[in-house]
Amino acid sequence: MPESPPMSLPDAYEAFADHHRESSLLQSCASLLSWDQETHMPKGGAGNRAQQLTLLSGMVHRRQTSEEYGELLAAAEDCGLIADEHPAAAANLRVARRDYDRSRRIPPALVEEKTGATVLARRAWVDARANDDFPSFRPHLERIFDLSRQIAEAIGSESGDPYDALLDAYEPYATAEGIEAVFAPLREAHISLLDRILGSDRSVDVRMLHRDFPQRAQAALAREAGSAIGFDFERGRIDETAHPFCMAISPDDVRLTVRYERDFFNPAFFGLLHEAGHGMYAQGLPAKQHGLPAGTACSFGIHESQSRMWENLVGRSRSFWRWCYPKAQEAFPEALVNVAEEDFYRAINEVKPSLIRVEADEVTYNLHIMLRFELERALLSGELDAGDLPGAWNETFEKYLRISPDNDADGCLQDIHWSAGLIGYFPTYTLGNVYAAQIYEAAERDLGELEPQFERGEFKPLKEWLNRNIHDHGQIHPPRELVEVVTGSPPHHDALVRQLESKYLRS
**Among all residues, which ones are annotated catalytic?**
275
State the CB neighbour count (10 A cutoff) for residue 335.
20
Pair 195, 142: CB distance under 8 Å: no
Q: How would you classify the pairing of strands 253-258 and 236-240?
A: parallel
Length of the chain: 507
Pair 237, 220: CB distance under 8 Å: no
Instruction: Output the CA torsion sign for 250, 253, 254, 259.
Output: negative
Alpha helices in 263-415 (DSSP H): 266-284, 300-308, 318-331, 333-336, 341-348, 365-381, 389-401
Residues in CB range of 168: below 8 A, 6 or more apart: 102, 155, 157, 174, 424
Q: How far apart are CA 85 and CA 89, in angstroms?
A: 9
Q: How far apart are CA 410 and CA 230, in angstroms?
A: 34
- Nearest alpha-carbon partner for 98 in 32, 5, 10, 173: 173
Buried/exposed 353-375: b ≥16 CB within 10 Å, e otherwise: bbbebbbbbbbbbbbbbbbbbbb
Partners of residue 247 on adjacent β-strands = 255
Pair 460, 467: CB distance under 8 Å: no
Write the single-letter amino acid at 362.
E
Q: How far apart are CA 54 and CA 63, in angstroms?
A: 14
Helices (H) and strands (E) in the chain, counts: 21, 3
Helix (H, G, I), strand (E, B) or coil at 31: helix
Pair 365, 433: CB distance under 8 Å: yes
Q: How far apart are CA 398 and CA 390, in angstroms?
A: 12
Q: Residue 228: is it exposed, middle or buried by C-beta count within 10 angstroms (0-12/13-18/19+)?
A: middle
Instruction: Output the CA torsion sign for 123, 129, 132, 134.
Output: positive
State the CB neighbour count (10 A cutoff) for residue 330.
11
